[in-house]
């Protein structure tokens, strides 16, 4: 059985959804670095960074980083369709996930914790960092939308949401990215809404975001 360390409204939603799509048994440990409890201590033992999602595999080994976890599940359960079957499509899905991990996700960390990225202690400095970071995040999503278009089946991965779809849908919940996309890249915003409402996705996302409201930053 897989063990997923995650928390409501966090990046673990993409992994939880992927696990549901595979049909493999798993359990969830609700743990997060901002929750001071026994679950957090358990998370720290398996991932010293205390970041979620963290996934413990059936053999006891540990995987961290959303993109790596999603890629693992795609390769471990190839018949589920978490990644395109053709090599070119697979390569672009991997590229897209690494793009989000390298460009979009770091902005969320800065939005959440601007004090980690400046020696200034005043609120104005932190606000300026957030404003600049948010603008950069929106620019990254614009470039993503321009380079990664839905396949003929309507999703980035084909006929159904795959790993890249799930990752984009979750990370775009933060930093006012969806508000921006509706104005800047409406086709991309529509894609995200299709992913959210897909029968394989909606139940999980509904548990993480029970009210269809965008979170201002990440988790």
Q: What is the per-residue pLDDT across 6-55, written as a single tens digit (0 to 9) for each?
A: 998 899 999 999 999 999 999 999 987 777 778 888 898 999 998 999 99
Closest Cα partner for 140 from 117, 118, 92, 172? 172
Residue 213 has pLDDT above 50, yes or no: no
pLDDT classification of 203: cutoffs 50, 70, 90: very high
Cis peptide before 53 (omega within 30 of 0): yes
Residues of the chain with CATH 3.40.30.10: 2-80
Judge: domain 87-208, CATH 1.20.1050.10.
yes
Mean pLDDT of 148-160: 91
Mean pLDDT of 204-218: 68
Q: Which superfamily does 2-80 belong to?
A: Glutaredoxin (3.40.30.10)
Mean pLDDT of 196-210: 94
Residues of the chain with CATH 1.20.1050.10: 87-208
CA distance 39 to 139: 36
pLDDT classification of 211: cutoffs 50, 70, 90: low
Closest Cα partner for 177 from 131, 132, 218, 137? 137
Per-residue model confidence (pLDDT) at position 41: 86
Residue 218 has pLDDT above 50, yes or no: no
Per-residue model confidence (pLDDT) at position 3: 96
Residue 74 has pLDDT above 60, yes or no: yes
Per-residue model confidence (pLDDT) at position 153: 82
Mean pLDDT of 198-218: 76
Per-residue model confidence (pLDDT) at position 216: 42
Cβ-count burial of 45 within 10 angstroms (0-12 exposed, 13-18 middle, 19+ buried)? exposed
Helix pair 87-99, 163-171: axis angle to 10 deg: 20
Give the three-class secondary structure for 62. strand
CA distance 205 to 34: 21
Q: Dump pLDDT digits (tens) for 83-92.
A: 999 999 999 9
């Amino acid at each position: 059985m897989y063990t997923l360390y995650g928390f409501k409204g966090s990046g673990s939603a993409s992994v939880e959804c992927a696990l549901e799509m595979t049909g493999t048994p798993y359990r969830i440990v609700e743990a997060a670095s901002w929750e001071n409890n026994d679950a957090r201590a358990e998370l720290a033992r398996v991932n010293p960074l205390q970041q979620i999602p963290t996934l413990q595999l059936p053999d006891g080994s540990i995987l961290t980083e959303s993109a790596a976890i999603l890629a693992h599940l795609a390769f471990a359960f190839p018949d589920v369709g978490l990644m395109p079957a053709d090599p070119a499509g697979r390569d672009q899905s991997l590229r897209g996930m690494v793009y989000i991990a390298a460009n979009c996700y770091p902005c969320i960390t800065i939005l959440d914790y601007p004090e980690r990225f400046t020696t200034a202690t005043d609120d104005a400095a932190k606000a300026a960092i957030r404003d600049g970071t948010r603008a950069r995040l929106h620019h990254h999503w614009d470039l993503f939308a321009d380079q990664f278009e839905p396949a003929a089946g309507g999703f980035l991965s084909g006929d159904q949401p795959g790993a890249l779809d799930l990752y984009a849908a979750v990370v775009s919940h933060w930093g006012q990215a969806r508000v921006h996309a509706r104005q800047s890249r409406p086709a991309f915003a529509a894609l995200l809404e299709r992913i959210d409402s897909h029968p394989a996705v909606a139940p999980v996302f509904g548990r993480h975001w029970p009210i269809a409201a965008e979170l201002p930053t990440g988790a």
